[in-house]
Amino acid sequence: MSNTRDLLIELGTEELPPKALKKLIQAFESGIKQGLEKAELNFDSIRSYAAPRRMAVVVDGLQVRQEDRIVERRGPAVTAAFDDDGNPTRAVQGFARSCGVEVEELGKLETDKGAWLVFKKQQTGAEADSLIPEILQQALNDLPIPKRMRWSDLPGEFVRPVHWLVLLFGDEVIPVELLGVTSGRESRGHRFHHPETIRIQSAQTYAPQLETEGHVLVDMTARREAIHGQVLEIAIKLGGEAVLNEDLLDEVTGLVEWPVALSGSYDKRFLELPAEALISSMEEHQKYFAVRDKSGDLLPYFITICNIESRDPAQVIAGNERVILPRLSDSAFFWETDRKRPLADRQEQLKTIVFQNKLGSVFDKSARVAKLAAVIATEIGGDAQLAERAALLAKCDLVTEMVGEFPDLQGIMGRYYARLDGEHDDVAEALDEQYLPRFAGDKLPQTISGQAVSLAEKLDTLVGLFGIGQPPTGVKDPFALRRAALGVLRIVIENKLDLDLSALLEQAQQGFDDKLTEKAVTAQVMQYFFDRLRGYAQDKGVKADVFESVLAVTPTRPLDFMQRLTAVAEFRQLEQAEALAAGNKRIGNILRKNDAEGDAGAIDDSLLVEAAEQALAKKLIIVKSAVEPLMAKADYAGVLNTLAEMRETVDGFFDEVMVMADDLTIRANRLALLNQTRALFLGVADISHLQG
């Protein structure tokens, strides 16, 4: 008899939430895997399957029972186990009782630290089929289900009603009652094509049986690829290409068991609407894929994924065409209604929308952002008036009919309406660009007005929320402050904007008047930016010690910070780097011990007694004059390369000079010399943080 078998677990339900299906099956597989590992049951591999009415896990080559093992418990030390007469103490008697044996049956363990009494017992491994029900129950308990529900008088709570459970271990069913059903080996096919039960032969035949007998493509990845391929193929036949939204593709994969793609058409007059409005209507309401031509313009077609292979596809298509007409008509109505009023007329309505209870309305926020955007635009060479205008109009599309129906179009519709109102192109573009980047790796605003408004919007939110004591905590970040901070850093660094974040945060804080209750708000937010910058830099390959060396001098211009990181990374490759880093660390320690850190007083040449300190003083003058023009143009690599020339002089100083001279004036002079040496390096970074 083989010591391994394959395990199949399938939970059959009513249709599961399509958007949550991927997350649910990943968590289910992970839960089973962790349960088996915790039970010390070895297996070859594990994989999962998911469709609208089922979640399944197959484990290949699972041990049929745990390995036998020796259980060892250490008891009292031998010295504490018996009294002077050799009788067992109460401590050892209690230990023996807890182990279920007599004191005489305990063993002895000799170690370097002494001897202890021990209890050893061979524990027979449990059968896997006795452990699997509890592992399954725990995996179901741990699923990320926000709200579990109960149906009628059925026992147990789950995300949807449960109708069947397959629990097959090799050729045998593991009997268990779970969520109101009894385990067996009968699964069910497609709701319409094969509603009858299917007797599953084995874990390995599970997926093929469901596909061939049951009309269910249970492999989620395969089903997604099938949908993807069918959509692309139909789009080509229509003379265009599909608009493939990855989230929609995932959702549709969670909606169907047997995907069949069909295409339909709609009236060309709807093509006068913004493409984004049509696509949103098709994707959000109907789960259709839009089609566009080679130049990117929409074609009057859609592709739908059916869950049935119809004998009369024309009827299905006609039904979908009837359904889409009122949806697109609604979009056309919203478009026409919104165009009757310019965006600027909607500003007053923003007073009715609360941004945050303590921070006022969206109207208030727009006014603050407008002032800050004007300042930023001026600093980066833009037009302050355009940036201010864009910021004042930025949120006006929130009160339009179109955005009310399709919130994902905010900004996009603002751009369309602003252009129709005759606003400047930069203003119109900024209304869309204010939200960039929307996600990790997203594009950045390219117009100066767009950059200014996007930065001002994010900085205002960060300062406001930190200022009322509501920074992100753990997984809670309702105002997406992490994304906002990273967005600011990306815009500034990747667009090469030489902006001082600390100064802009101070400017943003002034806009709140007396609304903020926290102290040192700018410092808090600046620290938050440094934390985000650390992750950003590490993603770019920057070593932790390089980052810490630059952070030690706290540059508040992100672009400048990154330039310093690059220079320090290059410097650490030089042969002089390790010795200079050690020398700087030594200097720092000496200065700190003598409370002389940063006290860079003048050097009195008449007090320079030793040749080595005279040499360092002369080298300082030469290097300082060479470094000043390089610092002026932020050539940090040039600065550090020049400072590398000081290695021999610094080494010579420490080899030959006693800093802590008995003569206090000479000591103070030498400390001043070290302070000036260290100050040169601190102009770029604190290289004492560099590791060897």
Query: Is the per-residue pLDDT at 452 higher than 80?
Result: yes
Distance CA 300, CA 309 (A): 24
Helix 577-593 × helix 664-682 angle, to 10°: 130
Cα angle 57, 63, 68; round to 5: 140
**Alpha-carbon gap, residue 411 to 429, rounded angstroms:** 9
Q: What is the pLDDT of residue 2?
A: 62
Q: CB-based burial of residue 519 (10 Å sphere; 0-12 exposed, 13-18 middle, 19+ buried)?
A: exposed
pLDDT band at 692 (very low <50, low <70, confident <90, very high): low
Over residues 224-252, the mean pLDDT reads: 96
Average pLDDT along the chain: 92
Assess contact for 452 and 379: CB atoms under 8 A.
no
pLDDT band at residue 598 under the 50/70/90 scheme:
low
Mean pLDDT over residues 396-423, rounded? 96
Say what percent of the chain tops pLDDT 90: 70
Q: Which two tokens stand for residue 576?
A: 């002089």
Residue 601 pLDDT level (bands cut at 50, 70, 90) = confident
Residue 22 has a pLDDT of 94
Collect all residues with Cβ–Cβ distance below 8 Å to 100 and sequence separation of at least 6. Answer: none
DSSP state of 645: G
pLDDT per position as a tens digit, 635-650: 999 999 888 888 888 8
pLDDT exceeds cutoff 80 at 154: no
Q: Report which DSSP code applies to 158.
A: B
Q: What CA–CA distance (Å, rounded) separates 93 from 97? A: 6
- Give the containing element (helix H, strand E) for 263: strand 260-265
- Is 390 a residue whose pLDDT tops 80? yes
Mean pLDDT to the nearest integer, 569-584:
85
Q: What's the confidence (pLDDT) of residue 138?
A: 94
CB atoms within 10 A of CB 182: 12
Fold of 343-541: Hypothetical protein af1432 (1.10.3210)
Question: Mean pLDDT across the stretch 538-543?
Answer: 94
Note whether 438 and 361 are within 8 A (CB).
no
Q: What is the pLDDT of residue 680?
A: 83
Q: Strand 162-169 relative to strand 181-184: parallel, antiparallel, unpaired?
A: parallel
More confident call, 277 vs 147: 277
Fold of 562-689: Isoleucyl-tRNA Synthetase; Domain 1 (1.10.730)
Identify the band that residue 1 occupies on the pLDDT scale cut at 50, 70 and 90.
very low
Q: Per residue in 156-165, pLDDT tens?
A: 789 999 999 9
Q: How confident is the model at residue 150 (pLDDT cuts 50, 70, 90)?
A: confident
Any idea what DSSP says for residue 444?
-
Q: How far apart are CA 220 and CA 372, in angstroms?
A: 48
C-beta of residue 289 within 8 angstroms of C-beta of residue 242? yes
| Residue 373 pLDDT class (50, 70, 90 cuts) | very high
Per-residue pLDDT at 514: 86
Q: What is the CA radius of gyration of the chain?
A: 35
pLDDT of residue 157: 85
Q: Which two tokens stand for residue 222?
A: 């395969």
Contacts of 440 (CB under 8 A, 6+ apart): 486
Report d(CA 613, CA 562) in Å as an integer.
Answer: 35
**pLDDT for residue 160:** 92
pLDDT for residue 301 is more than 70 = yes
What are the residue ranges spanned by the domains of the chain? 4-66+127-212, 70-121, 220-338, 343-541, 562-689
Report the pLDDT value the prediction gives residue 388, as an integer from 0 to 100.
98
Residue 410 contacts by C-beta under 8 Å, 6 or more apart in sequence?
397, 398, 403, 435
Instruction: Extract the tokens encoding 285.
Output: 């309401």
682 vs 270 pLDDT, higher one = 270
pLDDT at 604 over 90: no
Mean pLDDT of 386-404: 97
Residue with tokens 């997350």: 23
| Residue of 516, 523, 532, 394 lying closest to 465 (CA atoms) | 516
> Is residue 348 a contact partner of residue 393, using CB atoms and an 8 Å limit?
no
Strands 289-292 and 354-356: unpaired
Tokens matching residue 638: 């040039």
